[in-house]
Structure 1
Amino acid sequence: MKDMALNLRHQNANAAWSFALMNGDIRRYELRDGDRVASEAGSSVERAESYDSNYLDVGKTYQVAFSMMIEPGQTNAASWLILSQFTSMLDPGEAAHSPPFAIELMGDRLRIVTRDSSAALSTAADTQYRRQYDDSQPLKRGQWYDIKVQIVFGPSGNGQLKVWRDDVLLTDYTGSLGFNDIKGPYFKQGVYRSATPQTIAVQFKDLRMGEAS
């Protein structure tokens, strides 16, 4: 993999607990009830995330690798929660939509989803939701997991996705993936969820991203 120079910028409530850089370059994200980005003060979403400033090209093969650990605590009760995602750069006049790729938690079980639309300005009516993987067992709190994603964005049908956890292949998909946007998607990581009266903390380390060799 030819590594990109990552430039992570933060989106959070700017609270003392929202983000911490720990020993060994471990990034810790904590989200509490009511934690919202200032621009989303009236919304029903909460987030403590970082995003990278690199935009990816449709048709190229990219790889992302990292390790993650969910700290011990209450079982996640959010109706949706995203830990890592590629999110779209919306075209002028395009309505907001959910990300084309996401690693989610449902309860404490891992879920991998994709979305796609080949329309110039996508709408909910022409967006296809694809559930790529659902865990049969919850993740173990306090345990590190190694994640690797290999992805090709192709909204017209030539996309590809492979996801491994601890070197076990979870998803192997070929087909439509992503949106028909002027500028390609970018990577985000942390905790992003529907408003929920819980605290959750997640740690990430060894993040690498680049074009696959």
Structure 2
Amino acid sequence: MKKLVSILLVTGCVLSGKVIAQRNDVILRDFFQNKDYKKNWEKAESCCPHSIKLLTGADQVAGRNAIRFEVDRNDQKVNNGYRSELRMAKEKTADIERWYKFSIFLPKDYEIDSTFEVLAQWHEVPDFSLGEKWRSAPISLQTDKEKWRICINSASDPVNTDKTISLKKTIELSDIKKGVWTDWLFHIRFSYQEDGVLEVWENDKMVVDYKGPNYYNDKTGPFFKIGIYKTPWKFYRNNSIVTNRVIYFSDVKVGNEHASFDSMKD
């Protein structure tokens, strides 16, 4: 019996009298349960005390712990833009397959803007040694007026700019819903070639099944970001009618190439 217990402790952990097997398919899992949540992320990109707040206990949002993101037109720029985001570390290579699960809550007073905003993105890292500079995110989840949409950018040249992107694709999704959580699951195989994969489920319903280029011909892989990036406030500020934006995220999970649809739902 002692030998059996020793084996169980090596291969798993004991919790409430049960042995829970260790998982080798999870890179990050964050339920935003306490103030130590930031250790799960490489950095926060925010300007002010109001930008990112943890909500737990009595402050839960529709029954869930959450992160509250806020941007205001009077905020200082962060990394040359108006943003409030959490970001993971960059992937060491672009030749990867990943799964991403998260939930977004748009409050009932969410004002429909005349321009788009980015709420989740998989951002590139330039090959600085080749002279590249920062470009638009290869994959992003956005709101555009009353709709959700996904934008894809790809470039096959080893050195490229926003002006030499070889593929730009927008996939319009469902109407946004206010006052409820919307659950998202992304399965991505990053590639600038035809073997790229982008599968997306909204509230367990597949809404995107795309095969083809979805990344740049870069040496380094992307970094994943959640929060708010109000691109129009930087480039065409007068086109936006919104002066303040608040949204919430919850239940973030990132899986590696060993993950699956079923394992990400656990």
SS at match of 2:214: strand
The one-letter code of the counterpart of 2:52 is F
Q: Which has the higher strand share?
A: 1
The one-letter code of the counterpart of 1:89 is V
Contact 1:69 1:202 in 2 (8 A): yes
Q: Which has the higher helix share?
A: 2
> Whole-Å Cα distance in 2 between the matches of residues 164 and 170 of structure 1?
6
> Whole-Å Cα distance in 1 between the matches of residues 247 and 42 of structure 2?
16
Name segments (4+ residues, structure 1) moved above 4 Å: none
Contact 1:70 1:143 in 2 (8 A): yes
Counterpart pick for 1:210 among 241, 248, 255: 255
> Whole-Å Cα distance in 2 between the matches of residues 52 and 207 of structure 1?
12
Q: Deviations over 1:29-51 (max 9, x none)?
A: 011123233552xxxx4111111
Contact 2:152 2:214 in 1 (8 A): yes
Q: Deviations over 1:67-110 (max 9, x none)?
A: 11011225332523100000001111113321010000101310
The one-letter code of the counterpart of 1:198 is T
Structure 1 position 136, deviation (Å) = 4.7
Structure 1 position 7, deviation (Å) = 2.0
Could you list the runs of 5+ residues in structure 2 that have no partner in the other structure? Answer: 1-23, 29-39, 57-63, 234-239, 259-266
Ranked by relative contact order (alpha carbons within 8 Å, sequence separation 6 or more), the top structure is 1
Q: Deviations over 1:180-208 (max 9, x none)?
A: 11211110110001214421111111101
Counterpart pick for 1:77 among 106, 113, 126: 113
The equivalent residue for 1:21 is: 54
Relative distance call for 1:177 and 1:61 in structure 2 (3 A) is: same
SS at match of 2:75: coil
Could you list the runs of 5+ residues in structure 1 that have no partner in the other structure? Answer: none
Relative distance call for 1:184 and 1:148 in structure 2 (3 A) is: same
Structure 1 position 60, deviation (Å) = 2.6
Please identify the structure whose Cα radius of gyration is greater: 2
* Structure 1 range deviating more: 177-186 or 143-152: 177-186
How many residue pairs were aligned?
206
Give RMSD over aligned pairs.
1.9
Counterpart pick for 1:174 among 191, 211, 218: 211
Query: Are residue 3 (structure 1) and residue 41 (structure 2) matched?
Result: no
* Structure 1 range deviating more: 71-80 or 161-170: 71-80
